[in-house]
Amino acid sequence: MTAAVPTMEMPVAAAAAQGYWTGVFRRLLRDKVAVACALVLLAIVLAAIFAPYVAPADPAKGSILKRLQPIGSEGFLLGSDELGRDMLSRLIFGGRLSLAMGISPVLFALVIGGFLGIVAGFVGGRANTVIMRTVDVFFAFPSVLLAVAISGALGAGIVNALIALTVVFIPPIARVAESVTTQVRSLDFVEAARASGAGAFTIIRVHILGNVLGPIFVYATSLVSVSMILAAGLSFLGLGTKPPDPEWGLMLNTLRTAIYIQPWVAALPGVLIFVVSISFNLLSDGLRSAMDVQR
C-alpha cells in the first residue's frame, strides 16, 4: 500500500498543475485587451524575425536626394530618414535590436535575481541579510541614472548596455523573489517536506520553484517595457547601439534635427517604442489577473 502512494500522487499533481495553467490560459483568452496586445506584439516580433523578407528596401541604402520624404511618398510608405533611407525598412529591422535589448536584460536578470531572491528567502538568516542588503544598495540609485552610469563606465556598445540593464533589473526581481519565497517557505507542505527528511535543494526544486516562478515571471514581464525605454534612452545618448545599425532609440536621436521638417516621420520610432511598451504592460496586467485563482 505504501509503495503505491507515489504512483497515485504524481498523476494527481501533474493533472492539478495542468488544470491550473489551462485555467490561466482560458482566463487570459477572455481578456480582450490582453489578447489584442499579444497579437500586436506577435506581429511586431514576426516582422522583426523575418525582416529580410518583409522589409521593402535595404535599411542601409539611401539617397541624399530623397532625404526626409513625407509619409506616403512614392516608394516610401512611411517616408525616409535624414539620409534618404526607407523608414519602414529601418523600423522593421530596428525591431530586432530594440526587442533584443528590451527582453534579454530582463531574462538575464530573471535568472540571476530570481536565484538570489529564492536563496535569500528560503535560507534566511545571515544569507538573507547579506544578499538583500547588497540589493538595497542598488535601490538607492534611480534606474535611469544607474544604467547611464554603468554604461558610461563600461563604454558605449550593445553588450555593455545589456550588462548595465541587467544590473539595473536584478535588484527588483530579487526583491520580489525573496518576498514570494518567504511566504511559500512557511506553508504546510514545505514544513511536511522538511519533516520527511527532504534536503534543501529538493524542497526548492520540487515545492518552491513551482509556486514562486509564476509571480516572478509576471513581474518580469512588466519590466520588459521599462527595459525597452531604458535601452532606447541609452542608444539615444550614444551609449547603446552605434550607427548605422537601425535601432528605435538611435533613430530617435538621429532624427531629432528633423522634428521641425518632418515631425511625423521623426516621431515614428517613438510611436513604436510606446506601442510595444504599453502592450507589454497591458499583457502583464492580463496575465496577472489570469493567474489569480480567486477570480
Mean pLDDT over all residues of the chain?
84
Q: How confident is the model at residue 3 (pLDDT cuts 50, 70, 90)?
A: very low
Query: Is residue 38 a part of any domain in this protein?
Result: no
Residue 270 burial by CB count (10 A; 0-12/13-18/19+): exposed, middle or buried?
Answer: middle
pLDDT of residue 19: 65
pTM of structure: 0.83
Per-residue pLDDT, averaged over 158-177, amounts to 92
Q: Which of 6-15, 22-31, 265-274 bottoms out in mean pLDDT, i.e. has the lowest?
A: 6-15
pLDDT of residue 88: 92
Cell of 99: 526587442
pLDDT of 25 above 50: yes
Query: Is residue 28 a part of any domain in this protein?
Result: no
Query: Is residue 65 a part of any domain in this protein?
Result: no
Query: Is residue 29 a part of any domain in this protein?
Result: no
Instruction: Please give the distance of CA 26 from its chain centroid, rounded to a whole number.
Output: 23
C-alpha–C-alpha distance, residues 295 and 291, integer Å: 9
Residues 224/102, Cβ–Cβ less than 8 Å? yes
pLDDT digits (tens, 9 = 90+) for 123-166: 888 888 898 898 888 888 888 888 999 988 888 888 899 999 99
pLDDT of residue 4: 44
Q: What is the CATH number of the domain that holds 245?
A: 1.10.3720.10
Number of domains in the chain: 1
Query: Is residue 19 a part of any domain in this protein?
Result: no
With cell 534579454, the residue in question is 104
pLDDT of residue 233: 87
